[in-house]
């Protein structure tokens, strides 16, 4: 409570002073003069007569007021209906489209959804006090509604909220009602969502053309081979009927926004690539601004850049020029070359690359192992294959991103047995045996079953990419997952998910994954016992941006002309209110001795 | 005893009054009739309750002046004059006086009276006439502002068959009161206070009630064959004495 900035003590003093002043002024009021007369006998007679007349009048007044109060309460209890706007007792089902496009602003300042809600309220009010109404939405917010009285229907209506994601659907439960004649079905929509509307459904348009510019694509990546530089790809769509000059701003944590201006024709999409100098990682937000933009949901999008830091890498090798050159190509790597004998004497590296060598115990830092000998912390080595072909590989895995093993010729390679240890088989031979494996357990490691010298891999264009990817996977935070708005799954068991606002999200657990509702665009962080992951949720959907793709003509609905105002109180409420006012009047007159 | 007339003797008449001379001359029994001229007891009942002190001049003073004037006339006529000051009983009493030599004692008695106490005429009458009193003229001077009402007292008095002259004394201030709009009226006798919001309508009602009260007193008096007079203290005294008393038959 605000007390004009006064402390409670001073506020109390002020109130007491005001009360004292009022009491003082009241006491200063002159008392009536006392006049001694011969006898009050005659006056008593006059006053008695006057009182008697007043009493009679007060008696009647009191009786009338009491009767009125009782009648009003009785009327209120029996819920009278004026009969105006009655739908002849026919039930009405109101379907409100609350899909994302319904968040578009209309020229009157209301959103299409607010307009639809107002229309629905008018329809409910027009049904009269005895009307039965079922309120349904297209996003399934209300579950399985039933026909209810006006008050409950209005309460149900108030539960409908704007959905930021998901595909609207015409409620299946109403299809049966649409076939019969028992209920009138009114669907209030902007017509943007392509819904299968049954016959017999009365469609009320909430559509009004609006200007909208939105992001339909946004991605930030490092160029291949240069993990310390970032580029953003942005696509902007203009869903309005007029060309728009669009201001694009891309902002990263602690960095000045990069701004661009783009002219986009009506119903057109334009894309551009923006270099993001000095961006070092973390969340990146892209936003667009345009005159008269009526739909905000698609005006921003997010990305998350993994932080790439300079890494001290030790190459433990008896000598491998190709590997050494590949490592030196990575600008983030500070390379130290050690012989296997020197390995035990040096420490303090961020990552190791072991060439045809493996220490007896797992190293303290992540490691890339090329044709390692068997050690207990590594998977058991299976058969040695001569001239094996890489039959399959996980090209979606970050280590093999932009890496092709199709043309790699191998003279011989060992395979790893993956049954005894939880490892990821990145590449397999024709027999299905794992040739390249990786372990996500900390510290991470990647092991290749063939040596560089036993293959032409070093001569492949993808070899440096493999090395860079491997080091990034070993050293960096994994890249953020990109998900559309809605239910998102994170491959972390029993993870704790924090939303863009910093509050923990409600989660549901399934085997090896956690589900949560990504309800607003932004960067979410999931963290569990097995790891940590960022999830970027965006709208980025041309179908959502196309808020004018309506099949309906903009028009006033019939219900707009309904005479009953949307917020008109029900008669019983008015009666009860009048009864309460009369009771207060009766109380006042009683204390003023005007009634009995 | 003064001779007044003759009439024929009828058996049973007192033979001592037979006119024997006529019998001897006319041989008829004629009875001589005499009138005994007795002095009339006049009881002055002066209301000395607190309500009589109201008005300018006060009703009490006015009543005393009237009593003095009438007592003077009665004493001149050799009537036996008693003066009683009463409120809720007998306040003071002047025993019977007779002859014009008693004029000054009566005046002094009246002058020495003071008003106070509540009005209870019936109690005063019971107290005074409870003993045996000869029939006479009761002159009642009061404002009759008696909570017990005048009728019970009148009924009590009526049984003694006195001739009664009742004068209701009114002050102009109570006939037409001049009061502020908001006032607390305090009863001079009981001290009871009534908060009143004085409006013209209320004053009109008061005037009506006042008139009604006077009519009630008059009605009671007339029903008993008594003489009633309403007198305002601001009326010229001489006019009252010479005209009104004569008109009302008090003076001949």
Q: Is the pLDDT of residue A584 over 80?
A: yes
Strand order in the sheet with B80-86: B90-98, B80-86, B41-47, B137-142, B163-170, B227-232
Closest by Cβ to B196, choosing from A36, A39, A43:
A43
- Do A350 and A448 have their domain in common? yes
Q: How confident is the model at residue A563 (pLDDT cuts 50, 70, 90)?
A: very low
Query: CATH 3.40.50.410 in chain B, residues?
Result: 41-247
Angle (deg, nearest 10), helices A41-77 and B200-223: 120
Residues of B with CB under 8 A from a CB of A: 51-55, 59, 119, 143, 145, 147, 171, 174, 177, 179-180, 182-190, 192-196, 202, 205-206, 209-210, 212-213
Q: How confident is the model at residue B67 (pLDDT cuts 50, 70, 90)?
A: very high
> Buried b vs exposed e over B213-242: b needs ≥16 C-beta within 10 Å?
bbeebbebbeebebbbbebbbeeeeeebbe
Q: How confident is the model at residue B15 (pLDDT cuts 50, 70, 90)?
A: confident
Residue of B nearest to A44 (CA): B194
What number is the average pLDDT over the span A445-472? 90
Determine which of A356-360, A443-447, A570-574, B246-250 has the lowest per-residue pLDDT on average: B246-250
Angle (deg, nearest 10), helices A462-475 and A321-329: 70
Mutation target vs B (from A34, A43, A54, A593; most B CBs, 10 A cutoff):
A43
Nearest CA to A473 out of A518, A420, A424 is that of A424
What number is the average pLDDT over the span B1-16? 83
- Which residues of chain B have a CB within 8 Å of the CB of A32? 180, 182-184, 195
Q: Is the pLDDT of residue B68 over 90?
A: yes
At residue B38, the pLDDT reads: 67
- Do A372 and A352 have their domain in common? yes
Between the alpha carbon of residue A212 and those of residues A190, A249, A546, the distances in Å are: 15, 17, 8
Reading the block at residue A213, the tokens are: 């510019």
For A422-455, the pLDDT digits (tens) are: 888 899 988 888 889 988 888 889 999 999 999 9
Residue of A nearest to B51 (CA): A38
Planar angle of CA A281, A284, A289, nearest 5 degrees = 155
Residue of A nearest to B60 (CA): A38
CB contact under 8 A, B187 and A50: no
Angle (deg, nearest 10), helices A41-77 and A571-591: 160
At residue B248, the pLDDT reads: 61
Element (H, E) at A60: helix A41-77
Residue of B nearest to A45 (CA): B209
In this structure, is residue A321 part of a structural domain?
A: yes
The sign of the CA dihedral B94, B99, B104, B105 is negative
Measured between its terminal Cα atoms, the distance across chain B in Å is: 23
- Do A276 and A205 have their domain in common? no
Between the alpha carbon of residue B24 and those of residues A464, A521, B29, the distances in Å are: 194, 160, 9
Alpha carbon of B163: minimum distance to chain A alpha carbons (Å): 28
- Which residues of chain A have a CB within 8 Å of the CB of B55? 38
Q: Which residues form the domain of A195?
A: 91-210+547-569
At residue B139, the pLDDT reads: 94
- CA B186 – CA A92 distance, rounded (Å): 75
What is the rounded average pLDDT for all residues in chain A? 83
- Do A298 and A336 have their domain in common? no
- CA B80 – CA B42 distance, rounded (Å): 6
Residue of A nearest to B190 (CA): A39
Give the number of A-B residue pairs with CB atoms closer than 8 Å: 82
- CA A157 – CA A566 distance, rounded (Å): 12
At residue A564, the pLDDT reads: 44
Residue B49 DSSP class: S
A345 touches chain B (CB under 8 A): no
Residue of A nearest to B185 (CA): A35
Q: Which residues are B30's β-sheet partners? A: B8
- Which residues of chain B have a CB within 8 Å of the CB of A33? 180, 182-184
Closest by Cβ to B185, choosing from A43, A49, A50:
A43
CB contact under 8 A, A42 and B174: yes
Q: Is the pLDDT of residue A143 over 90?
A: no
- Do A351 and A275 have their domain in common? no
What number is the average pLDDT over the span A174-195? 78
Between the alpha carbon of residue B181 and those of residues A352, A426, B195, the distances in Å are: 109, 108, 10
CB contact under 8 A, A38 and B52: yes
Q: Is the pLDDT of residue A86 over 50?
A: no
- Do A205 and A217 have their domain in common? no
Q: How confident is the model at residue A85 (pLDDT cuts 50, 70, 90)?
A: very low
- Which residues of chain A have a CB within 8 Å of the CB of B179? 35
Alpha carbon of A45: minimum distance to chain B alpha carbons (Å): 7
Q: Is the pLDDT of residue A6 over 80?
A: no
For A30-66, the pLDDT digits (tens) are: 788 899 898 888 898 888 888 888 778 878 888 888 8
Q: Is the pLDDT of residue A145 over 80?
A: no
Angle (deg, nearest 10), helices B200-223 and B151-158: 10
At residue A557, the pLDDT reads: 43
Residue A52 C-beta-side C-alpha neighbours within 13 Å = 6
CB contact under 8 A, A50 and B205: yes
- Which residues of chain B have a CB within 8 Å of the CB of A45? 209, 212-213
Reading the block at residue A477, the tokens are: 């935070």
Between the alpha carbon of residue B37 and those of residues A525, B30, B34, B78, the distances in Å are: 138, 22, 9, 11
Reading the block at residue A447, the tokens are: 């092991």
CB contact under 8 A, B145 and A41: yes
- CA A527 – CA A62 distance, rounded (Å): 72
- Do A328 and A445 have their domain in common? yes
Q: Which residues are B35's β-sheet partners? A: B2
- CA B78 – CA B74 distance, rounded (Å): 6
At residue B252, the pLDDT reads: 56
CB contact under 8 A, A43 and B182: no
What is the rounded average pLDDT for all residues in chain B? 89
- CA A385 – CA A410 distance, rounded (Å): 9
- Do A338 and A457 have their domain in common? yes
Alpha carbon of A585: minimum distance to chain B alpha carbons (Å): 24
- CA A480 – CA A536 distance, rounded (Å): 6
> Buried b vs exposed e over A177-205: b needs ≥16 C-beta within 10 Å?
bbeeeebbbbbbbbbbbebebbeebbbbb
What number is the average pLDDT over the span A530-554? 83
At residue A254, the pLDDT reads: 67
- Do A492 and A562 have their domain in common? no
Mutation target vs B (from A29, A42, A49, A592; most B CBs, 10 A cutoff):
A42
Q: How confident is the model at residue B107 (pLDDT cuts 50, 70, 90)?
A: very high
Contacts of B219 (CB under 8 A, 6+ apart): none
CB contact under 8 A, B213 and A45: yes
Between the alpha carbon of residue A445 and those of residues A313, A341, A376, A417, A527, the distances in Å are: 14, 21, 14, 15, 21
For B123-173, the pLDDT digits (tens) are: 999 999 987 788 899 999 999 999 899 999 999 999 998 999 999 999 999
- Do A320 and A453 have their domain in common? yes
Reading the block at residue A436, the tokens are: 């390249």
Alpha carbon of B209: minimum distance to chain A alpha carbons (Å): 6
In this structure, is residue A580 part of a structural domain?
A: no
CB contact under 8 A, A37 and B188: yes
Nearest CA to A171 out of A146, A204, A149, A207 is that of A146
CB contact under 8 A, A32 and B54: no
Q: Is B216 helix (H, G, I), strand (E, B) or coil?
A: helix
- Do A350 and A454 have their domain in common? yes
- Which residues of chain A have a CB within 8 Å of the CB of B185? 35, 37, 40, 43
Q: Is the pLDDT of residue B216 over 90?
A: yes
Residue B251 DSSP class: -
Please give the tally of structural domains in chain A: 4
CB contact under 8 A, A42 and B189: no
Closest by Cβ to A38, choosing from B174, B193, B209:
B174
* Burial group, residue B14, by CB count within 10 angstroms (0-12, 13-18, 19+): exposed
Nearest CA to A165 out of A543, A506, A514 is that of A543
Residues 274-333 of chain A with CB under 8 A from chain B are none
CB contact under 8 A, A50 and B185: no
Mutation target vs B (from A34, A36, A37, A593; most B CBs, 10 A cutoff):
A37
Q: Is the pLDDT of residue A167 over 60?
A: yes
For A257-274, the pLDDT digits (tens) are: 888 998 999 889 999 898
CB contact under 8 A, B187 and A42: no
At residue A181, the pLDDT reads: 64
Q: Kindly report the CATH number that applies to the domain delimited by B41-247.
A: 3.40.50.410
Q: Is the pLDDT of residue A84 over 60?
A: no
In this structure, is residue A285 part of a structural domain?
A: yes
For the range A368-376, what are the long-range contacts, defined as Cβ-Cβ under 8 Å and sequence gap of 24 or more?
A: A368/A445, A368/A446, A368/A448, A368/A467, A368/A470, A368/A471, A368/A474, A369/A445, A369/A446, A369/A447, A369/A448, A370/A320, A370/A323, A370/A448, A370/A451, A370/A452, A371/A413, A371/A414, A371/A448, A371/A449, A371/A450, A371/A451, A371/A454, A372/A447
CB contact under 8 A, B205 and A39: no
Nearest CA to A454 out of A340, A320, A354, A339 is that of A320
- Which residues of chain A have a CB within 8 Å of the CB of B213? 41-42, 45
Q: Is the pLDDT of residue A9 over 80?
A: yes
Between the alpha carbon of residue B64 and those of residues B55, B77, B87, B177, the distances in Å are: 14, 20, 14, 23
Residues 25-54 of chain A with CB under 8 A from chain B are 32-47, 49-50
pTM above 0.80, yes or no: no
Question: Which CATH number belongs to the domain containing residue A409 in this structure?
Answer: 3.40.50.880
- Do A356 and A316 have their domain in common? yes
């Amino acid at each position: 409570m605000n007390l004009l900035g006064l402390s409670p003590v001073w506020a109390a003093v002020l109130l007491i002073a005001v009360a004292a002043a009022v009491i003082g002024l009241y006491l200063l009021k002159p008392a009536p003069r006392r006049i001694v007369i011969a006898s009050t006998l005659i006056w008593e007679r006059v006053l008695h007569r006057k009182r008697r007349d007043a009493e009679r009048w007060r008696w009647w007044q009191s009786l009338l007021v009491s009767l009125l109060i009782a009648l009003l309460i009785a009327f209120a209890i029996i819920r009278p209906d004026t009969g105006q706007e009655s739908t002849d007792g026919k039930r009405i089902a109101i379907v409100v489209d609350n899909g994302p496009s319904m968040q578009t602003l209309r020229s009157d300042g209301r959103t299409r959804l607010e307009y639809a809600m107002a229309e629905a309220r008018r329809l409910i009010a027009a049904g009269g006090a005895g009307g039965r109404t079922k309120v349904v939405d297209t996003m399934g917010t209300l579950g399985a509604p039933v026909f209810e009285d006006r008050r409950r229907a209005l309460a149900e209506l108030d539960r409908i909220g704007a959905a930021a994601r998901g595909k609207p659907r015409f409620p299946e439960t109403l299809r049966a009602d649409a076939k019969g004649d028992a209920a009138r079905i009114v669907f209030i929509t902007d017509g943007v969502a392509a819904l299968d509307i049954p016959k017999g459904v009365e469609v009320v348009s909430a559509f009004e053309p609006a200007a909208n510019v939105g992001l339909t694509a946004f991605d930030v990546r490092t160029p291949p081979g240069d993990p310390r530089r970032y580029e953003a790809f942005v696509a902007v769509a203009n869903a309005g009927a007029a060309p728009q000059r669009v201001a694009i701003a891309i902002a990263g944590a602690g960095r000045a926004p990069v701004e661009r201006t783009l002219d986009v024709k009506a119903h057109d999409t334009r894309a551009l690539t923006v270099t993001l100098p000095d961006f070092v990682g973390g969340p990146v937000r892209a936003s667009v601004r345009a005159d008269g933009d009526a739909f905000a949901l698609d005006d921003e999008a997010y990305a998350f850049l993994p932080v790439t830091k300079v890494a001290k890498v030790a190459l433990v090798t008896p000598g491998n020029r190709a590997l050494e050159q590949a490592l030196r190509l990575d600008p983030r790597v500070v390379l130290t070359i050690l012989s296997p004998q020197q390995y035990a004497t040096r420490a303090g590296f961020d990552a190791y690359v072991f060439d045809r060598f493996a220490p007896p115990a797992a190293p303290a830092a992540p490691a890339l192992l090329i044709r390692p000998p068997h050690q207990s912390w590594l998977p058991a080595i299976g058969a040695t294959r001569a001239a094996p072909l890489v039959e399959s590989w996980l090209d979606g895995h970050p280590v093999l991103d932009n890496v092709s093993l199709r043309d790699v010729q191998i003279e011989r390679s060992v395979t790893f047995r993956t049954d005894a240890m939880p490892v990821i088989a990145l590449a397999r031979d024709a027999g299905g045996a794992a040739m390249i494996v990786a372990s996500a357990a900390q510290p991470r490691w990647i092991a290749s079953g063939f040596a560089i010298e036993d293959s032409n891999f070093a001569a492949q264009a993808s070899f440096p990419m493999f090395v860079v990817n491997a080091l990034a996977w070993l050293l960096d935070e994994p890249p953020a997952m990109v998900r559309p708005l809605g239910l998102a799954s994170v491959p972390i068991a029993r993870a704790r998910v924090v939303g863009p606002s910093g509050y923990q999200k409600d989660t549901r657990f399934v085997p090896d994954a956690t589900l949560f509702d990504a309800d607003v665009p932004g960067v979410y962080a999931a963290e569990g016992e097995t790891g940590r992951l960022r999830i970027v949720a965006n709208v980025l959907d041309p179908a959502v941006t196309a808020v004018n793709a309506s099949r309906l003509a903009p028009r006033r609905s019939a219900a707009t002309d309904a005479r009953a105002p949307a917020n008109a109180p029900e008669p019983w409420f008015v009666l009860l209110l009048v009864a309460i006012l009369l009771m207060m009047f009766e109380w006042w007159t009683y204390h003023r001795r005007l009634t009995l | 005893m003064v001779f007044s007339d003759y009439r024929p003797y009828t058996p049973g008449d007192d033979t001592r009054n037979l006119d024997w001379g006529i019998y001897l001359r006319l041989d008829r029994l004629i009875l001589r009739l005499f009138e005994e001229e007795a002095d009339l007891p006049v009881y002055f009942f002066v209301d000395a309750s607190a309500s009589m002190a109201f008005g300018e001049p006060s009703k009490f003073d006015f009543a005393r002046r009237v009593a003095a004037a009438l007592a003077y006339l009665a004493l001149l006529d050799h009537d036996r004059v008693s003066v009683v000051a009463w409120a809720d009983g007998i306040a003071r009493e002047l025993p019977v006086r007779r002859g014009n030599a008693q004029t000054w004692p009566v005046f002094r008695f009246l002058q020495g009276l003071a008003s106070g106490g509540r009005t209870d005429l019936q109690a005063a009458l019971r107290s005074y006439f409870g003993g045996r009193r000869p029939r006479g003229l009761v002159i009642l001077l009061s404002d009759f502002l008696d909570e017990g009402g005048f009728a019970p007292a009148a009924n009590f008095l009526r049984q003694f068959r006195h001739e009664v002259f009742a004068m209701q004394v009114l002050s102009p201030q109570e006939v037409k009161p001049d009061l502020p709009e908001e006032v607390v009226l305090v009863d001079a006798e009981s001290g009871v206070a009534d908060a009143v919001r004085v409006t013209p309508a209320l004053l009109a009602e008061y005037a009506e009630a006042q008139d009604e009260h006077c009519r009630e007193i008059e009605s009671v008096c007339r029903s008993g064959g008594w003489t009633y007079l309403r007198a305002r203290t601001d009326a010229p005294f001489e006019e009252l004495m010479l005209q009104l008393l004569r008109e009302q038959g008090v003076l001949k």
